[in-house]
Amino acid sequence: MQQTREKNIRRGITVFTIALIFVFWWGITASGAVNTRIVPTPGAVWNAFIEILTGGYKNTTLLAHLGASLSRLIAAFLGATVIGVPLGMLSGFHPRVGAVFEPLVEFFRPLPPLAYYVLLVLWLGLGNESKIVLLLFACLPPIFVACAAATRRVPADYLNSARSLGASKRQLFLHIVFFYCLPETLTGMRTAFGVGYTTLISAEMVAALSGIGWMVLDAQRTMRNDVIFVGIFIMGFTGILIDFLLRRAEKKIVPWAGKA
């Protein structure tokens, strides 16, 4: 009962905060304190959203722009997961494997993805290939690091108990290490998705012909600040929705996470 009440209070505070922001936004635009050509009114942004939703933007529907962005991100995220999860766990479980791959990942991890995006465009062109590879490089390090770190924290008692029962290295890895690391692995995947989403928007602003990031950049060229605000809201709400879905999936997949 207490937890439900506290949850409702937090929701009320969140709703009140969002409402307060919109009231402030409406107030400064209605009072003339700011130029509405620079900061559009909430009504102008809503009208631009309806315009794009019904008629599209530059002969392309809003769903097509959003689908182009998400298809690139999902393809790269799945590729990074397929590579990063087993490679990270193997690197944490076998130090010699880690000696091979960890320096490479640590080299790429601090690099801003856009720093080498120009090279990818030169090698792979302006199509989806260069963007997917860029996003894969952006998503891979968080997944790899989370998996490797979680694997090294597997309690020695778990491994020794399994060995005393005759478990092989393969059985240790599949039945103990993998499931012990799964909660932290999913957290790393959520982090990677967020990093990939940020990188995607930046990449589309640099070189693209479709996507939400491209739409915002094109609107900037034509001084359509209402469209820019629409794009920003779409990016934010899409990111929140995706993270919510990932957190729900995490609770279903690893219900034991955080419990003794």
**Per-residue pLDDT tens over the stretch 147-172:** 999 998 888 888 888 888 888 888 88
Token pair for 59: 């002969």
Res. 50: pLDDT tops 80: yes
Residue 43 is predicted with a pLDDT of 93
Average pLDDT over residues 227-232: 93
Q: Say which CATH architecture domain 38-253 belongs to.
A: Orthogonal Bundle (1.10)
Per residue, what are the HEC states of the chain? CHHHHHHHHHHHHHHHHHHHHHHHHHHHHHCCCCCCCCCCCHHHHHHHHHHHHHHCECCECHHHHHHHHHHHHHHHHHHHHHHHHHHHHHHHHCHHHHHHHHHHHHHHCCCCHHHCHHHHHHHHCCCHHHHHHHHHHHHHHHHHHHHHHHHHCCCHHHHHHHHHCCCCHHHHHHHHHHHHHHHHHHHHHHHHHHHHHHHHHHHHHHCCCCCHHHHHHHHHHCCCHHHHHHHHHHHHHHHHHHHHHHHHHHHHHCCCCCCC
The whole-model pTM stands at 0.84
**Average pLDDT over the chain, rounded to whole?**
88
Q: Give the start-to-end residue ranges of the domains of the chain.
A: 1-34, 38-253
Determine the Cα–Cα distance for residues 223 and 153; give it in Å rounded to an integer.
Answer: 52
Determine the Cα–Cα distance for residues 118 and 130; give it in Å rounded to an integer.
Answer: 9
